[in-house]
A and B are shown apart, each in its own frame.
Chain A
């Protein structure tokens, strides 16, 4: 039951260019979305989040866009840096009464110097 999908297992981008990571979801009850990044041998690290009442949230080089009608969100990293190379997970939460996160399978981003 893949409620959260990240269809691109990997992505390579040149340093300084934009990285766009995509995530689709199927559960219309999801109302809060997050991006985590994960380096090898470390746990997932929170990056940025967005509530379903918004369509965009920005934090420095990172921007998350939410398209509720398409059940799609994306993470933009501009400009991309070699230190951004990691696995990025999209996660979703379904509102009051539950605090669990449903994760996607991850996208491995490689930023080439």
Chain B
């Protein structure tokens, strides 16, 4: 069964460093997303991406964050200068972008745990 894959599973970084989280969405999907879950809190939407541009972003997704689809398979989230409060589980998701909501379900990867020290 097709799945969303994320690497690495755990990333440890020093405060102020740049990190890139990587995702390979399901191959025929056209919409891509990043969510994060701070420990003990709910899963929060960060950004959605379609047709090589951001289609929607939350207030969390400030200038320190960027997304890119560098080739036909990868989708990345970059945090330019990490802060302690960026420590969280980051989930990538993808959906087929069908006009039917029932067929446009988002499928999630297993996540990357980011630890900022």
Complex Cα distance A16/B39, Å? 32
- Residues 35-76 of A, flagged 1 when their CB comes within 8 A of B and 0 if not, give 010000111111001010000000000000000000000000
Q: Give Cα A51 to B100, complex, Å.
A: 11
Contact in complex: B111, A43 (CB < 8 Å):
yes
Select B101's contact among A32, A45, A102, A103, beta carbons within 8 Å: A32
Looking at the complex, which one of A43, A93, A104, A106 makes contact with B108 (CB distance below 8 Å)?
Answer: A43
What is the size, in residues, of chain A's interface with B at 8 Å between Cβ atoms? 24
Q: Is the Cβ of B110 less than 8 Å from the Cβ of A43?
A: yes
B19 CB within 8 Å of chain A:
no
Determine whether the beta carbon of B95 is less than 8 Å from that of A99.
Answer: yes
Q: Which of B43, B44, B55 contacts A44 (CB 8 A)?
A: B43
Complex interface bits, A15-35 against B, C-beta within 8 A gives 1, otherwise 0: 000000000000000001010
Report if A43-B58 is in contact (Cβ < 8 Å); known contacts: A51-B101, A93-B101, A105-B42.
Answer: no
Q: Complex: how many Å from CA A4 to CA B104?
A: 20
**Residue B87 interfacial (CB < 8 Å):** no
Is B48 touching A49 in the complex (CB atoms < 8 A)?
no
B75 is an interface residue with CB less than 8 A from chain A: no
Contacting residues, chain B, for A100 (C-beta < 8 A): 33, 45, 48, 56, 58
Contact with B along A82-98 (1 / 0, CB 8 A): 00000001010100001
Which residues in A have their C-beta under 8 angstroms from that of B42?
Answer: 4, 89, 103-106
Contacts of A46 in B (CB 8 A): 105-107
Q: Is the CB of B43 within 8 A of A89?
A: yes
In the complex, chain B residues 84-116 whose Cβ is within 8 Å of any chain A Cβ: 91, 93, 95, 101-102, 104-111
CA separation between A102 and B43, bound complex, in Å?
8
Pair B109/A43 contact, Cβ less than 8 Å: yes
Which listed residue, A36, A41, A49, A102, touches B102 by the CB 8 Å rule?
A49
From residue A93, how far is it (CB to closest CB) to chain B in Å? 7
Closest B residue to A89 using CB positions: B43
Q: Which A residues are in CB contact (< 8 Å) with B4? A: 43
Contacts of A103 in B (CB 8 A): 35, 42-44
User: Could you jot down 5 A-B contacts, CB within 8 Å?
Assistant: A44-B43, A99-B95, A100-B33, A100-B45, A101-B43
